Amino acid sequence: MHGPPLIGWLLVALCAATGGYCLSQMRGEPPGPGRRIAGAEALMGWGMAVMAVPSTVLDPRPWGPPAFVAVFAVAAVRALLPVPHGAGLPGHRLHHTVGALAMVYMALAMMVGTTGGHHHTGETVPGRMAGGVPLLTGVLLVYFAVYVVRSGLRLVPMTDGPVDAAGAGPPGAGWSRRPELRHACRLSMGIGMFAMLLTL
């Protein structure tokens, strides 16, 4: 990832923590759409964490970008498939598809960089795509900016004042089932995706 190493490490910490929480949530969910969504979010969080590692520490070339493209292309297709245990949550499926395709896009930009688009010195070779397609990057930035704002607004009522029984999840639910933490994780991943797109 391009950009200051400190920003990269902050993104690694944020995305790894989010992926870890989503993984614990997936393990606590019964089979069904909830577990599938948590698994997709865990994959996204860990994938973003690996992609955000500064290239001075972990150079993903040449295997990294093609692996990201393959994994997240499959994730994008899988997100669009009907949920076996019910049709619900189409909005989540669409968002996961956009997120997975954004990861594919960033991995493709990394692949261009490995063929000469960017060097570690920051030089750009004429005739090569540098940092992706500006219009597409802009569209994705707008999408994730709107998503972050909406997620933040959705989280505010859950944290405004004491949490009652309606906002605390099912009876006996642990911290991995709390709805406000789920929204906070989605907000964190949206922020992380926005920041990573800015570094293209």
User: Alpha-carbon distance 156 to 148, whole Å?
Assistant: 12
Q: Position 197: which residue type?
A: L
Q: How many residues does the chain have?
A: 200
What percent of the chain is helix, strand and coil (3-state, nearest 5)? 70, 0, 30
Task: Kindly state the DSSP code that residue 86 receives in the 8-state scheme.
Answer: -
pLDDT tens-place string over residues 69-92: 999 999 999 888 766 555 445 667
Q: Give pLDDT tens digits for 81-122.
A: 766 555 445 667 889 899 999 999 999 988 875 544 444 444
Give dist(CA 189, CA 16) in Å, integer: 10
Place of tokens 């933490």: 181
10 Å CB burial of residue 20 (0-12, 13-18, 19+) is middle
Yes or no: say if 31 and 85 are a contact pair by the CB < 8 Å rule.
yes
Rounded CA-CA distance 192/185 in Å is: 10
φ, ψ of residue 124 in degrees (nearest 5): -115, 130
Lowest mean pLDDT across 73-82, 160-169, 187-196? 160-169
